Amino acid sequence: MKTWNEAEIVERLREPSQREAAFTELVEHFKEQLYWQIRRMVLSHDDADDVLQNTFVKVWTGLDGFRGDAQLSTWLFRIANNETLNFLNRRRQLIGLDEDGIASVAATLQSDPYFDGDETERLFQQAIAALPDRQRQVFNLKYFDEMKYEEMSSLLGTSVGALKASYHHAVRKISDFFHAAD
């Protein structure tokens, strides 16, 4: 298998005769990573697939606008992040995310055929779903992806101090959620 070379892919994406093949490689290289970034926010497999597809459509249509100021991977994650937040905002407007909405999200997770966790995992995911979007995002990137705050800062355009505070608040809320469940 060919090794990933981001500079080479960017060069090939700028070349009209190689754009499609380079884009296919880009999708293959990033689809799983982006899928899980999205899935941890939207929870549903089908929703994550939809958001991922929208992300790659935006990437394809925005290729000419990629200036190279950031790494290609950072640009992709920002697009996925924005698409995810847009999806969550639309869903929140449709169903609301009050206590009933959070319970609905948990029920959706429990009925998801792709979810194979036990009761503790379900409660953990429910606690994460109850977090405000930014805290949930920071928690997911730090906890699941083990991303450093400096990387998150570049990705999310937020200061390291604000990210540390968001993570701290998220951990406290998840802990409080488990204490309340006892």
94-124 per-position pLDDT tens digit: 665 555 555 555 566 555 655 556 677 778 8
Q: Is the pLDDT of residue 1 over 70?
A: no
Mean pLDDT of the chain: 85
Do 133 and 105 meet the contact criterion of CB atoms below 8 Å apart? no
Compute CA 126 distance to the chain's CA centroid, rounded to the nearest angstrom. Answer: 17
Do 13 and 26 meet the contact criterion of CB atoms below 8 Å apart? yes
pTM for this one? 0.78
Encoding tokens for residue 54? 């929208």
Q: Is the pLDDT of residue 50 over 90?
A: yes
Output the pLDDT for position 166. 95
Class of domain 1-95 (CATH, top level): mainly alpha
Rg of the chain over CA atoms, in angstroms? Answer: 18
**Helix pair 99-111, 119-129: axis angle to 10 deg:** 140
Domain layout of the chain by residue ranges: 1-95, 131-182
**Does the domain at residues 131-182 carry the CATH identifier 3.20.20.70?**
no
Residue 30, φ and ψ in degrees, nearest 5: -105, -10
Report the alpha-carbon distance of residue 56 to residue 23 in Å, rounded.
9
Please choose, from the candidates 112, 109, 58, 63, the residue with its C-alpha nearest in 3D space to the C-alpha of residue 86.
Answer: 58
The pLDDT-based confidence of 159 (bands split at 50, 70, 90) is: very high
